[in-house]
Amino acid sequence: MRKRRSLNTVLVTCLAFAALSSVPAAAAGDGLRQVLFVGNNWEGTADVIAPSGDYAKIARVDMVPDKDERLTEIYLNPIKLAFFLGIRNGVGEGHDQLVDDLYTTPDGRSVVASRPSFADVVSIDLATGGVNWRFPVSGFRSDHMAVSPDGRSIAVSASTSNTVHVLDIETGQQLGSFKTGDKPHENTYTDGGRYLWNSSIGEVNTALDAPWQDFTKGDRRLTVVDATTFKQVKVIDMRERLDAFGRSDLSDAVRPVAFTPDESKLYFQVSFFNGLLEYDVATDRITRSKTLPKNPDTSEDRTTWVNDSRHHGLSMSPAGDKLCVAGTMDDYATIVDRASLREAQLVNAAKPYWATVSGDGKHCVISESGSDQVTAIDFATGAKVKSVPVGDHPQRIRIGHVPEGWTGPAGR
């Protein structure tokens, strides 16, 4: 009788054959132009800029054209209003969260975004600026999303209902859903779209932030599901792996993540930690950690760190040899060599909140939510290349596609 391989072995074998990019590529000669979409969370707009080179601004898209309708709906419902104001005064830092994550459709005709304060996902027509479809998520807040490698489906975390919805990106129809730990956050497709990983971060907007109060943060875990059936494949409790690694002092709330190109290793940030960790998928264990410098001007009062984040933003170079880290509360970003885990120079940045990769793969692009700009950093040298202004409180930055010659919605 043959021995059955462990689930970890099966997963890593499949992942080794995965596509190297999670961003759906437009077909050659399809009349589309690659761009970067920058979601301006507090402003409710998206700036569209060149994906490399001079990062020149191309257009701005209003992501809340139905704002008056949504606000009327909220103010007429006491329960919705309570959560709306809770988001404003909690995770929104006194502001409404009007656009979080965003991706374009494969044909480049629409951009789909999650809008936390409106608890929905919406598709905006890039030609007219109007709403194509709207999907209200379960509960009262939408959060991070992920698009499948084929560009046909989009997964969105519904924070308050511990649910991930998977939608048809063209129609907004729900294809399926699955339950998660408390406060689902980051979503990541792997193995060419076969699996979908979700990390739940637990309760991040209370003042119970001392290490001994960690038990109050809730059920935090990585949930891996089959992306076709939405059945649970595996649950990874990082508390057990962190304890085994000798880091029981660290939170197990997994924040931004980055897989290696062959998806055999996962790099991730956790709440309150100025650094990152390395997880080996095949052996199901944490293998290395990297502590990054602290900014001496950053308060050590953990209750002052935004939503329990000290560092929030992580991306990897296409070759898999460099990591880009956004040191959010420490006001810098840096490139980390993956082999040695040695950091390059610290690039000053005002509350950097996200990190992605430029269209040509040469740069890491971070959002500076504290100075309303995005900044490109060279993966090879670690040096700052260029900063360009965007809207109020930029967060997620995603590669997308628009029609050649597009300069923004007509009449807007």
| Residue 390 C-beta-side C-alpha neighbours within 13 Å | 37
pLDDT tens digit at each of 412 positions of the chain: 333 344 444 444 444 333 333 445 454 458 999 999 999 999 999 999 999 999 999 999 999 999 999 999 999 999 999 999 999 998 888 999 999 999 999 999 999 999 999 999 999 999 999 999 999 999 999 999 999 999 999 999 999 999 999 999 999 999 999 999 999 999 999 999 999 999 999 998 888 888 888 889 999 999 999 999 999 999 999 999 999 999 999 999 999 999 999 999 999 999 999 999 999 999 999 999 999 999 999 999 999 998 999 999 999 999 999 999 999 999 999 999 999 999 999 999 999 999 999 999 999 999 999 999 999 999 999 999 999 999 999 999 999 999 999 999 985 5
Instruction: With beta carbons less than 8 A apart as the criterion, state whether 162 and 203 touch.
Output: no
Distance CA 188, CA 254 (A): 12
Asked if the structure places residue 318 within a domain, the reply is yes
Maximal C-alpha separation, the chain? 69
CB-based contacts of 262, cutoff 8 Å, min separation 6: 15, 16, 18, 320
| Residue 49 C-beta-side C-alpha neighbours within 13 Å | 29
Asked if the structure places residue 410 within a domain, the reply is no
Q: What string of H, E and C letters represents the secondary structure of 365-377?
A: EEEECCCCEEEEE
Instruction: With beta carbons less than 8 A apart as the criterion, state whether 253 and 308 touch.
Output: yes
Domain count, the chain: 1
54 class by beta-carbon count within 10 Å (0-12 exposed, 13-18 middle, 19+ buried): exposed
Report residue 88: phi and psi, to 5°: -60, -45
Asked if the structure places residue 154 within a domain, the reply is yes
Each residue's pLDDT tens digit, 13-32: 444 333 333 445 454 458 99
Which residues span the domain enclosing 137?
A: 7-15+32-403
In which region does residue 317 sit, left (phi positive, over 0), alpha (psi from -120 to 50) or beta (all else)?
A: beta
Instruction: With beta carbons less than 8 A apart as the criterion, state whether 288 and 242 touch.
Output: no
Q: Which residue has the tokens 């880091």?
A: 247
Give the pLDDT confidence score for residue 86 in this predicted structure: 92
Q: How many Cβ atoms sit within 10 Å of the Cβ of residue 367? A: 29
- Of 317, 297, 308, nearest in space to 365 by CA: 317
Instruction: With beta carbons less than 8 A apart as the criterion, state whether 376 and 364 touch.
Output: yes
Instruction: With beta carbons less than 8 A apart as the criterion, state whether 353 and 313 touch.
Output: yes
The CA angle 392-352-63, to the nearest 5 degrees, is: 35
Domain of residue 278, CATH code? 2.130.10.10
Instruction: With beta carbons less than 8 A apart as the criterion, state whether 222 and 232 touch.
Output: no
List, as one string, the DSSP characters of 375-411: EEEETTT--EEEEEE-SSSEEEEEEEEEETT--S-TT
Distance CA 339, CA 330 (A): 24
Instruction: With beta carbons less than 8 A apart as the criterion, state whether 394 and 41 touch.
Output: yes
Classify strands 352-357 and 347-348 as parallel, antiparallel or unpaired: unpaired
Asked if the structure places residue 409 within a domain, the reply is no
Asked if the structure places residue 23 within a domain, the reply is no
Give the pLDDT confidence score for residue 209 in this predicted structure: 83
